[in-house]
């Protein structure tokens, strides 16, 4: 089967384009597609793909959190971020989460194939357009000052924050995460206390500003 690839992007046209082009490669196979981070995490755990091409901005669970959780349970899988974002903090966050590569969505398809080959051989790949932005931070220890304020939240709290910012009610969050309403409410209270933010509107602004979700 060659290199097994999972495509995770909330835009169907992007997934279809990548699938169609990857299909032409004799040593690569798309084994599944996901339209949100939570589905990507579930499929990665089940299918153990070699490479996951991961959009950063996705509903329910963004690509940064999905990457962190996937690699915690499936460390042999490799993640290549595929994003429009060129901001330094966003790049550092996904690399710090464990991604092995970072591509911009306006790159040529040949670059995607090249990146897959590089990462599959246990090397790192950064799009040339962002190398100048990130390489000094990536090859040295990332200073705590460069990490997002989100780092004070637990993984579960970051999930809850994203769901809150996306307009979900406490009972809906409890259902998505398969926890009790009381537990979901506890996480919400912890988030507000840690961030010193005490309204959903302000939490939403914070989540968008930190790149956890988007409008």
Which pLDDT tens digit goes with each residue over 156-180? 999 999 999 999 999 999 999 999 9
**CA-to-CA separations, 75 to 44, 69, 142, 200, 203, in angstroms, rounded:** 10, 10, 21, 35, 32
34-74 residue pLDDT tens? 999 999 999 999 999 999 999 998 988 999 999 999 999 99
The yes-or-no answer to whether 3-138 and 150-209 have a common fold is: no
- Banded pLDDT at 211 (limits 50, 70, 90): confident
Q: By the 8 A CB rule, do 84 and 59 touch?
A: no
For 3-138, give the CATH class.
alpha beta
Look at residue 215 in the predicted model and tell me its pLDDT.
65
Q: Where are the alpha helices (DSSP H) in the chain?
A: 12-22, 37-47, 63-73, 88-96, 109-120, 128-138, 155-165, 170-177, 181-195, 200-209
pLDDT of residue 140 exceeding 60, the answer is no
Which position has the higher pLDDT, 133 or 121?
121
Q: Give the residue extent of every domain in the chain.
A: 3-138, 150-209
Q: Which has the higher per-residue pLDDT, 140 or 79?
A: 79
Would you tell me which CATH number, out of the four given (1.10.10.10, 3.90.1310.10, 1.10.3720.10, 3.40.50.1970), belongs to the domain 150-209? 1.10.10.10
Q: d(Cα 211, Cα 195) in Å, to the nearest integer?
A: 15
Q: How far is CA 202 from CA 101, 170, 192, 209, in A?
A: 32, 17, 10, 10
Helix axes 155-165, 200-209, angle to 10 degrees: 110
How large a percentage of the chain has pLDDT more than 70? Answer: 91
| Single pTM value for the model | 0.75
């Amino acid at each position: 089967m060659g290199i097994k690839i999972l495509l995770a992007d909330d835009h169907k046209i992007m997934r279809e384009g990548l699938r169609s082009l990857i299909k032409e490669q004799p040593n690569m196979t798309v084994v599944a597609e996901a339209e949100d981070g939570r589905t990507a995490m579930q499929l990665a755990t089940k299918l153990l793909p070699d490479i996951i091409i991961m959009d950063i901005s996705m509903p329910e669970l963004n690509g940064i959190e999905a990457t962190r959780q996937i690699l915690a349970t499936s460390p042999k899988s490799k993640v290549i971020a595929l994003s429009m974002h060129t901001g330094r903090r966003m790049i550092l966050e996904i690399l710090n989460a464990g991604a092995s590569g970072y591509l911009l969505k306006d790159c040529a398809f040949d670059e995607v194939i090249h990146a897959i080959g590089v990462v599959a051989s246990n090397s790192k790949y950064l799009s040339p357009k962002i190398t100048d932005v990130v390489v000094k931070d990536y090859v040295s220890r990332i200073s705590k000052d460069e990490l997002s304020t989100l780092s004070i939240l637990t993984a579960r709290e970051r999930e809850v924050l994203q769901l809150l910012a996306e307009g979900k009610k406490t009972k809906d969050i409890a259902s998505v995460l398969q926890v009790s309403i009381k537990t979901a409410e506890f996480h919400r209270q912890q988030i507000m206390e840690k961030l010193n933010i005490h309204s959903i509107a302000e939490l939403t602004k914070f989540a968008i500003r930190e790149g956890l979700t988007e409008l």
